[in-house]
Amino acid sequence: MELNQLREKILSFSLDDGPRGNQGYSRVLLQLFGYMGHGKSSFINSCKYVLEDSETLTPYAEAGETEDDGAMTTIRAAYDLTENITMVDNRGYKFMDSFERAEIYAQLGNFIPIGEKVEWTGNYTAMMHRLEDAELNPNYSDFIVPILIYSATCCLSNRKEVQTFMDNCVKMTGVVPIIIITKKKSGDFIKIEKQFKLMGAEVITAIENYTNEDQNKTLGRTKDILMVIHRALADVTFHLGQKRNSQRDWRERKKFLLEYIHKSDLEKKEEERKKEDIKRGKDREKQKERRREEKNITEEMLRTFDVWKRPEVRKREEEERREEERWREEARKREEEERRVEERRREENDPSCIVA
């Protein structure tokens, strides 16, 4: 397809043109997700740039690096591509722990209002309150297409969590997320492309975003980016070709999120319980170790004391023994002497012994 034809198709896209009409939908929401710094905001700027007939790039969405390694985009912001197509710059994530993921799904389900700061609450009650707020002002009319932005500079080491995210996108929206590999000149995008294919991705496009520093339009880059938007609209047309009900879809998304939050809460409690068990086990081990050490020290002290004390005792015992022997010898001598004196006395008194 010619570039201008492609652009025209996108600009004139309307949900009313589907075979069954709009079925309650009035806007296509291209929702961007991905890790911090992978190029979500830059992709929005690139899309706007290729659709506009301008020679210089306007940075609609603020892109760049933060000094503290945090997220550049923290407020969920929307950018209109056309009257019927809006792109949403969702907050990038660093780790995908269960609560961070719940916030991601709250954004995906469109339960966090546009323009609101996204906080990773990690708190079950706060999330439930947020959902109750969404109930007050429900948005049934956005047809959501998830787009996952992944930088070629990374190596998909977190494949399991990315796969879970992709699967849940399908559960929540019915649409397999479109994969955009950014920074294609800075990493092995072919390898990542293959890995995403194996994970069930249907559309994978590797691009080099247009940025402030690199905004020379080329045919290949411009076409690649326009084709992504076009393919997202083909997905919408496909789904609206089937019977849909925008309110029921909204309720289904909400049900999924409620179950997810509940499961996350249970997982978190279970995790805390396990941590507590491990801590208690470690404390018990430490206590045992301390007792063992104390026992060893006591035994060592007793041994030392015994060694220190034994010569003294032996000396004293020896002295006592000698004293007793001395005493016995003296007693024996005394008895001998007494016996001799007695004998002499008897001899002196015995008349038979008197010499005539």
Ligand X SMILES: Nc1nc2c(ncn2[C@@H]2O[C@H](COP(=O)(O)OP(=O)(O)OP(=O)(O)O)[C@@H](O)[C@H]2O)c(=O)[nH]1
Residues in the chain: 356
Stretch that binds Mg ion, among 72-80, 103-111, 119-127, 305-313 (CB under 5 A): 72-80
* Binding-site member from 10, 71, 169, 233 for ligand X (CB under 6 A): 71
Residues touching ligand X, count (CB under 6 A): 21
* Binding-site member from 107, 195, 209, 264 for ligand X (CB under 6 A): 209
- Kindly report the three-state secondary structure assignment for every residue of the chain: CCHHHHHHHHHCCCHHHCCCCCCCCCEEEEEEECECCCCHHHHHHHHHHHHCCCCCCCCCCCCCCCCCCCCCCCECEEEECCCCEEEEECCCECCCCHHHHHHHHHHHCCCCCCCCECCCCCCHHHHHHHHHHHHHCCCCCEEEEEEEEEECCCCCCCHHHHHHHHHHHHHHHCCCCEEEEECHHHCCHHHHHHHHHHCCCCCEEECCCCCCCCCCCCHHHHHHHHHHHHHHHHHHHHHHCCCCCHHHHHHHHHHHHHHHHHHHHHHHHHHHHHHHHHHHHHHHHHHHHHHHHHHHHHHHHHHHHHHHHHHHHHHHHHHHHHHHHHHHHHHHHHHHHHHHHHHHHHHHHCHHHCCC
Residues 11-70 that bind Mg ion (CB under 5 A): 40-41
**Minimum gap (Å) between residue 91 Cβ and Mg ion:** 8
Residues 211-250 that bind ligand X (CB under 6 A): 211
**Minimum gap (Å) between residue 197 Cβ and Mg ion:** 26
**Minimum gap (Å) between residue 246 Cβ and ligand X:** 29
Closer by beta carbon to ligand X, 141 or else 211: 211
Stretch that binds ligand X, among 40-48, 104-112, 333-341, 348-356 (CB under 6 A): 40-48
Residues 120-159 that bind ligand X (CB under 6 A): none
Q: What angle do CA 67, 72, 78 make, to 5 degrees?
A: 165
Residues 164-203 that bind ligand X (CB under 6 A): 182-183, 186
Residue 245 identity: N
Is the torsion defined by CA of 158, 101, 172, 21 positive or negative? negative
* Binding-site member from 41, 110, 205, 222 for ligand X (CB under 6 A): 41
Per the DSSP assignment, residues forming a β-bridge with 148 are 33, 179
**Minimum gap (Å) between residue 181 Cβ and ligand X:** 9
Decide which of ligand X, Mg ion, none touches 287; Cβ closer than 5 to 8 Å per partner kind.
none
**Minimum gap (Å) between residue 71 Cβ and Mg ion:** 7
Pairing of strands 85-89, 77-80: antiparallel
72 binds Mg ion per the rule CB under 5 A: yes
Decide which of ligand X, Mg ion, none touches 42; Cβ closer than 5 to 8 Å per partner kind.
ligand X
Stretch that binds ligand X, among 39-47, 198-206, 257-265, 337-345 (CB under 6 A): 39-47
Closer by beta carbon to ligand X, 64 or else 281: 64
Stretch that binds ligand X, among 60-68, 169-177, 300-308, 338-346 (CB under 6 A): 60-68
Contact pattern for ligand X over residues 74 through 113, marking x by CB under 6 A: ------------------x---------------------
Per CB under 6 A, residues contacting ligand X are 34, 36-42, 63-65, 71-73, 92, 182-183, 186, 208-209, 211
- Binding residues for Mg ion, per CB under 5 A? 40-41, 72-73
